[in-house]
Chains A and B, each alone.
Chain A
Amino acid sequence: EDQVTQSPEALRLQEGESSSLNCSYTVSGLRGLFWYRQDPGKGPEFLFTLYSAGEEKEKERLKATLTKKESFLHITAPKPEDSATYLCAVQASSNTGKLIFGQGTTLQVKP
């Protein structure tokens, strides 16, 4: 069964304190791994897609990496505006467009 597990569930950081979020997955043939950001009361917003182990993508203070079993979202010198819930999802090669989501990590960055 395809499954995605994110850790930690919640993370509190001081502004400027770098850290990483983890996404572990089991899937029958990975077609893509996705990271989304979700602000309270809004829909998830796309951040990155990773396709194969060893791939990395960056956007401002965020960097996503991928191995055969997990993905990390590294946050460098975070700011309060980075506070949000970060969702990880996988698409299996056997499923047409469907994404399986993890439960998310809620990040709070204090000034």
Chain B
Amino acid sequence: DAGITQSPRHKVTETGTPVTLRCHQTENHRYMYWYRQDPGHGLRLIHYSYGVKDTDKGEVSDGYSVSRSKTEDFLLTLESATSSQTSVYFCAISGRGAGANVLTFGAGSRLTVL
């Protein structure tokens, strides 16, 4: 996972608490993505960013917000965590946008909401 790190890697929290996951890249890539992976659903896009302060929603964005104040950092926030948000969250980066591009993934952050 050279060039992309996620933190924390594991987190257990309680329903109703706020949670922030961080993705940090050293590749200077323009595009960054947050996916969640659940059994039976595969990888689903939550939010993505196409530049500093430029973000857009994915297919499962309800209950999540994102921020990107610097090229290298993309934060995913759960304002009030629910049990349905228990999942493994992956950050991905890409250097290209409009063309067919390869996503490079981080190692994942496992979140458990009790």
> What 0/1 readout, one digit per residue, does chain B (33-66) give for beta carbons within 8 Å of chain A?
1010000111111001010000000100000000
Asked if A97 contacts B108 (CB within 8 A), the reply is no
Cβ-based interface call for A31 (8 A): yes
Using A96-B97, A103-B40, A103-B41 as known contacts, say yes or no to A43 and B106 having CB atoms under 8 A apart: yes
Asked if A102 contacts B97 (CB within 8 A), the reply is no
Asked if A51 contacts B100 (CB within 8 A), the reply is yes
Cβ-based interface call for A72 (8 A): no
CB-CB under 8 A from B90, the residues of chain A are 43-44
CB-CB under 8 A from A46, the residues of chain B are 102-104
Cβ-based interface call for A99 (8 A): yes
CB-CB under 8 A from A42, the residues of chain B are 1, 107-108
Cβ-based interface call for B84 (8 A): no
Asked if B44 contacts A97 (CB within 8 A), the reply is no
Number of interface residues of A (CB under 8 A): 23
> What 0/1 readout, one digit per residue, does chain B (1-43) give for beta carbons within 8 Å of chain A?
1000000000000000000000000000001010100001111
Asked if A98 contacts B96 (CB within 8 A), the reply is no
From B1, B50, B97, give the contact of A43 (CB < 8 A).
B1
CB-CB under 8 A from B43, the residues of chain A are 44, 87, 89, 99, 101
By beta carbon, the residue of chain A nearest B1 is A43
Asked if A91 contacts B107 (CB within 8 A), the reply is no
How far does the alpha carbon of A89 sit from the alpha carbon of B42 in the complex, in Å?
10
CB-CB under 8 A from B92, the residues of chain A are 43
CB-CB under 8 A from B104, the residues of chain A are 46
A44-B43, A87-B43 given; 4 more Cβ-contact pairs under 8 Å: A43-B108, A96-B98, A97-B101, A102-B42
Query: Which A residues have a C-beta under 8 Å from some C-beta of B?
Result: 31-32, 34, 41-46, 49, 51, 87, 89, 91, 96-104
Query: Which B residues have a C-beta under 8 Å from some C-beta of A?
Result: 1, 31, 33, 35, 40-45, 48, 50, 58, 90, 92, 94, 96-108
